[in-house]
Amino acid sequence: MTVTERVTGVLTLRPSVFEDIEADKNANAQAFAVVVLASIAAGLGGGLSGGALGIARETIGAVVGWVMWAGVTYVLGARLMPERDTHTDMGELLRVIGYSYAPSFFALFAGLPLVGYGIRMAVDFWLLATTVLAVRQALDYKSTLRAFAVVLIGWLFFVGISWALRA
């Protein structure tokens, strides 16, 4: 399966595509590229200031966040909240979560007058859907609700860290 087919499958929420990504140990560089390109698109769409340095900073933050998100998801989903059939590793989580960033390509249009806020909201909900599906497939969950819980708890963890760093 090509990168374009995988991105299209992720954007259309096809579980079999996430399974394909999860199983392909050679897809780590592809997932990395999706994260980098998605962060650049989101930065440009958000009116990122700081020019090239700002984009570089945002991209590095996205890559670090991706790795941290996969780690937190591993601990929560595979260690604290596994289902009977849960089998995963960090590579699988990095691949599927990296590809789940694909809706952020459309955040490039978030800076458009009148429709930008709506686009940003749509992208955010789309990201939630792709991330929940990525987590469900990588953790071999039968329950989408459990995958949603892992994503929500992970998100709250990151919100807490962000809040603590600002205080």
| pLDDT score of 48 | 63
Task: Answer yes or no: are the C-beta atoms of 98 and 32 closer than 8 Å.
Answer: yes
Cα separation, 21 vs 152, in Å, equals 23
With tokens 């090509």, the residue in question is: 2
Dist CA 25 CA 111 (whole Å):
36
Residue whose tokens read 């289902």: 83
pLDDT tens per residue across all 167 residues of the chain: 999 999 999 999 999 999 999 999 999 999 999 999 999 998 888 766 667 787 888 889 899 999 999 999 999 999 999 999 999 999 999 999 999 999 999 999 988 889 999 999 999 999 999 999 999 999 999 999 999 999 999 999 988 888 888 87
Residue 112 sits at φ, ψ, to 5 deg, of -70, 135
pLDDT at 119: 95
Helix/strand number for the chain, H first, E second: 7, 0
Question: Which pLDDT score, from 0 to 100, does residue 50 have?
Answer: 65
**Confidence at residue 52, expressed as pLDDT on a 0 to 100 scale:** 77
Residues 144, 33, 51, 159, Cα dihedral to 10°: 30
Locate the DSSP E strands across the chain.
Answer: none
Short-list 59, 60, 54, CA closest to 39: 59
Please state, in angstroms and rounded to a whole number, the distance separating the CA atoms of residues 90 and 26: 14
Is pTM beyond 0.85? Reply is yes
Q: What is the CA angle 70-16-14, rounded to 5?
A: 85
